[in-house]
């Protein structure tokens, strides 16, 4: 999928074209192609990174969820003989025209102030495949220390994201379950309304957030500071859990020293076997590979997760953002899953998997007129996670319930692999400040972002997995929300978010 050629701007520049393919809703593919450099300005020390971008079943809608899907696009460069580094994209005010970027017809480019990447999405309402030709991003190569005439390699990465708009929402589903530590309004058995990003007092009194004390639910203490992301403000969330292919792409930009602790095939992760619990990450030296790039990633530690997030210019979501991403501004439903109902397919035997291990991996016998998810009742004997997006791609009727989608169109927030989320249930979690990664790691391959949770504190688990009872996969279940064990196993993965510009 990769190729290399030379392009002349004043000197010879080697461009590494990277085609990034990620499974998406209804078997979407996101692809970057035709990468080139043009328009070098040696006075400003900028150059345009040009590429085409496409993905399937994109949308933008002004009613209901009032949101859109997007691509988070960022650039890596490697000076001749050097290591891969993160490119600084130009920022003036976040608009393409003033930032010096060029939008393709039908698209909008929005740049965050840190210039770590851009969001690309439809400029008007619509749905279907989107093909954007000749996008250009202004790279401030001088800021990055690249000299005029220097030989560089370029990679352009794209990750599918979904916009979650600003607004109030319910935390907890009103069931008052004492066994699952669900959020509630004080001692009332009703949801707690999150109506701003202001600090939240935690107390067993009406008008305050509270939850029952369960082993993994937390310390029932507070406050939850104003800086802690509560889900009220707008953010982007990855449409899918991180895949094995995405992790391989990340891993292959690391130095040999950085790869040592990020190697999923070593004894601190899955082990050196070729496949464990459907994880096919393989590495001995040079570049890593996987024969199942579309499959959800497992066997990652908190260190691996934080390193990936830093590298991609993203951050961890919080458990309040998790609930907002699932139910949106809709009224909470008792015992609901991510698709907004408590209905879940309960077959006599597991789903029948077809085209196993391929980009078209699917389910030949999904439930109809009910919810579908990869949980113990449907896939407990599968032996590992399925490919990202398998539920939506296999649904008979493309409803939110049958395809397992959240209110905003985010997939597999219920089941497949557990989601990592920063907890409100301990001091390490509550101290989280949502800084984004800067794209560069330490020499040892660790993240270096201030005020992120400790690797052994502050990060819990939500949403259940393919091997877990559906009770643990309900949106409001918090049995493991403050379970901060830093483990690498077959059931736990992650996805990333970014605060909206």
Each domain of the chain, given as residue ranges in start order, spans 3-163, 231-501
| pLDDT band at residue 18 using 50, 70 and 90 as cut-offs | very low
231-501 CATH, one of 3.90.1580, 1.10.1740, 3.30.1490, 2.60.40: 3.90.1580
| Per-residue pLDDT tens digits for 383-404 | 999 999 999 999 999 999 999 9
Residues whose CB falls within 8 Å of the CB of residue 463, separated by 6 or more in sequence, listed in order: 322, 338, 413, 414, 415, 418, 419, 473, 475
pLDDT at 280 over 90: yes
pLDDT at 176 over 80: no
Alpha helices, DSSP H, located in 60-199? 96-99
| pLDDT band at residue 22 using 50, 70 and 90 as cut-offs | very low
Q: How far apart are CA 500 and CA 70, in angstroms?
A: 11
Scored b (16 or more CB within 10 A) or e, 275-285 reads bbbbbbbbbee
Contact 245/279 with Cβ under 8 angstroms?
no
| Per-residue pLDDT tens digits for 97-124 | 999 999 999 999 999 999 999 999 999 9
Tokens read off for 466: 């393919």
DSSP-based three-state secondary structure for 249: helix
Q: How far apart are CA 73 and CA 35, in angstroms?
A: 13
Rg (CA), the chain: 22
| Per-residue pLDDT tens digits for 328-346 | 999 999 999 999 999 999 9
Q: What number of CA atoms fall less than 13 Å from residue 284's CA on the CB side?
A: 2
Q: How far apart are CA 254 and CA 4, in angstroms?
A: 19
Q: What is the chain's mean pLDDT, rounded?
A: 92
DSSP-based three-state secondary structure for 319: helix
Closest CA to 324 of 145, 160, 492, 168: 168
| Per-residue pLDDT tens digits for 256-265 | 999 999 999 9
Contact 264/281 with Cβ under 8 angstroms?
yes
Tokens read off for 378: 């449907």
Going by their DSSP bridges, the two strands 209-211 and 183-185 should be labelled as antiparallel
Burial category of 82 from C-beta neighbours within 10 Å (exposed 0-12, middle 13-18, buried 19 and up): middle
As a three-state string, the secondary structure of 72-89 is EEEEEEEECCCCCEECCE
């Amino acid at each position: 999928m990769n190729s290399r050629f030379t392009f002349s701007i004043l000197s010879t520049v080697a461009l590494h074209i990277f085609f990034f393919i990620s499974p998406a809703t209804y078997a979407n593919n996101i692809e970057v192609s035709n990468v080139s450099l043009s328009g070098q300005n040696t006075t400003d020390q900028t150059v345009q990174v040009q590429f085409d971008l496409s993905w399937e079943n994109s949308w933008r809608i002004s009613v209901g969820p009032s949101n859109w899907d997007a691509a988070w696009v960022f650039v890596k460069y490697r000076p001749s003989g050097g290591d891969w580094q993160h490119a600084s994209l130009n920022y003036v005010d976040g608009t393409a025209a003033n930032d010096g970027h060029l939008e393709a017809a039908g698209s909008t480019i929005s740049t965050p102030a840190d210039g770590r990447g851009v969001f690309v999405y439809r400029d008007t309402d619509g749905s279907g495949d989107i093909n954007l030709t000749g996008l250009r991003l202004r790279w401030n190569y001088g800021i990055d220390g690249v000299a005029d005439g220097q030989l560089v390699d370029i990679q352009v990465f794209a990750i599918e994201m979904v916009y979650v708009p600003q607004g109030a929402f319910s935390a907890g589903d009103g069931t008052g379950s004492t066994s699952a530590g669900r959020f509630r309004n004080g001692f009332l058995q009703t949801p707690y309304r999150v109506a701003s990003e202001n600090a939240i007092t935690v107390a067993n009194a009406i008008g305050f957030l509270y939850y029952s004390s369960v082993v993994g639910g937390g310390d029932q203490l507070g406050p939850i500071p104003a800086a802690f992301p509560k889900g009220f403000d707008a953010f982007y969330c990855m449409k899918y859990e991180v895949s094995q292919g995405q992790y391989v792409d990340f891993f292959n930009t690391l130095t040999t020293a950085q790869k040592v602790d990020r190697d999923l095939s070593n004894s601190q992760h899955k082990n050196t076997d070729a496949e464990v619990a459907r994880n096919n990450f393989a590495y001995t030296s040079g570049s890593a590979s996987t024969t199942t790039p579309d499959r959800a990633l497992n066997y990652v530690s908190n260190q691996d997760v934080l390193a990936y997030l830093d590298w991609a210019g993203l951050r961890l979501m919080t458990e309040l953002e998790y609930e907002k991403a699932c139910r949106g501004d809709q009224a909470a439903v008792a015992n609901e899953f991510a698709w907004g109902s408590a209905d879940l397919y309960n077959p006599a035997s597991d789903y029948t998997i077809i085209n196993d291990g391929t980009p078209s991996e699917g389910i030949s016998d999904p439930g109809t007129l009910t919810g579908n998810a990869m949980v113990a009742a449907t896939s407990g004997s599968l032996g590992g996670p399925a490919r990202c997006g398998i539920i939506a791609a296999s649904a008979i009727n493309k409803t939110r319930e049958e395809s397992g989608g959240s209110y905003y169109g985010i997939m597999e927030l219920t089941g497949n692999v557990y989601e990592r989320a920063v907890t409100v249930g301990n001091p390490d979690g509550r101290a989280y400040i949502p800084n984004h990664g800067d794209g560069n790691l330490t020499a040892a391959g660790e993240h270096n972002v201030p005020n992120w949770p400790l690797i052994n504190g502050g990060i819990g688990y939500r949403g259940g997995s393919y091997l877990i009872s559906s009770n643990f996969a309900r949106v409001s279940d918090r049995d493991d929300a403050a379970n901060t064990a830093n483990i690498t196993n077959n059931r736990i993965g992650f996805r990333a978010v970014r605060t909206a510009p």
